[in-house]
């Protein structure tokens, strides 16, 4: 199969979207557009404080109410989409690329290399991700690249295990053995023979891990390991306003529902990818 056909396969699938996946793609596209153009969409500056307007309920002036500093919740929610979508897609791309390379090599080569690398991967899996995140932030500081690195490191192990399992299945099939007997080099066996036949696994991992990355980025910010205090990022917004859930629930529910909507959108697309992969292998 040519490289062009591999690249175009996701576009071909888009033409056969189900209702659920259409909803998922719409949610992702909506939040992506908001993240790009939020400065032109917000009714108020997201950091503008008006103490006299604190805890106003949703109204015509403030559609989603205000928080404890009188800041417009709608404006902050729209602005908070950008930090999430700066971290999650980048972390997913790094994790899928690294995990695919590691899983393909270990699963395709096997032997002592597979044993050594997978023991290292297993060690990372059992090490608590939150502790690793604290250490990364403590040594490297709080920034978007550090968040990308932390989230990508956690997801790479998951991608590696899935890709390796798929590569192990393909490694001993007749077409690979025939290529090996023809004298094809290792890079050709992995990249031209095995990789095209496990592309469905890679697609499923990419969509599935994007949802994980969104949730992980929001969780790190909620714990104070992500964006600086006062940031409109959704996880930080939930953490900053959780004490006021009883008095002003809109300050917490709005960013929380934003997280949920994006994760659900990604999950719907991931489910479509999984079903497509099943139909191809079935």
Tokens of 43: 């009714």
For the chain, the domains span 19-38+61-281
pTM: 0.86
Write down the pLDDT at residue 8: 47
Q: What's the CATH code, domain 19-38+61-281?
A: 1.10.3720.10
Q: Which of 232, 151, 262, 203 is nearest to 10 (CA)?
A: 203
Side-chain half-sphere CA neighbours of 28 within 13 A: 20
pLDDT, averaged in runs of 10, over the chain (282 residues): 47 61 92 96 94 94 94 97 94 95 91 89 80 80 87 92 92 86 85 89 91 91 81 92 92 96 92 72 55
Report the alpha-carbon distance of residue 95 to residue 160 in Å, rounded. Answer: 9
Write down the pLDDT at residue 262: 95
């Amino acid at each position: 199969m040519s490289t062009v056909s591999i690249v175009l396969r996701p576009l071909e699938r888009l033409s056969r979207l189900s209702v659920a996946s259409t909803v998922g793609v719409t949610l992702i596209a909506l939040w992506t557009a908001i993240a790009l153009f939020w400065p032109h969409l917000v009714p108020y500056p997201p950091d503008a404080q008006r103490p006299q307007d604190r805890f106003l309920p949703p109204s015509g002036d403030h559609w989603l109410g205000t928080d404890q500093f009188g800041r417009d919740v709608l404006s902050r929610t729209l602005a908070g989409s950008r930090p999430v979508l700066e971290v999650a897609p980048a972390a997913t791309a790094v994790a899928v690329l690294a995990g695919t390379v590691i899983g393909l090599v270990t699963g395709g080569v096997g032997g002592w290399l597979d044993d050594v690398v997978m023991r290292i991967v297993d060690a990372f899996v059992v090490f608590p991700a939150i502790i690793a995140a604290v250490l990364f932030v403590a040594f490297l500081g709080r920034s978007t690249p550090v968040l990308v690195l932390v989230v990508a490191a956690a997801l790479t192990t998951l991608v590696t295990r899935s890709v390796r399992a798929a590569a192990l299945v393909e490694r001993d099939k007749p077409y690979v053995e025939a290529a090996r007997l023809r004298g094809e080099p290792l890079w050709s066996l992995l990249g031209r023979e095995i990789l095209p036949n496990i592309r469905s696994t890679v697609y499923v991992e990419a969509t599935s891990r994007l949802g994980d990355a969104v949730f992980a980025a929001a969780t790190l910010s909620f714990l104070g390991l992500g964006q600086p205090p006062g940031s409109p990022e959704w996880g930080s917004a939930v953490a900053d306003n959780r004490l006021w859930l009883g008095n002003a629930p809109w300050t917490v529910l709005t960013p929380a529902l934003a997280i949920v909507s994006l994760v659900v959108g990604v999950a719907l697309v991931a489910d479509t990818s999984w079903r497509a992969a099943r139909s191809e292998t079935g």
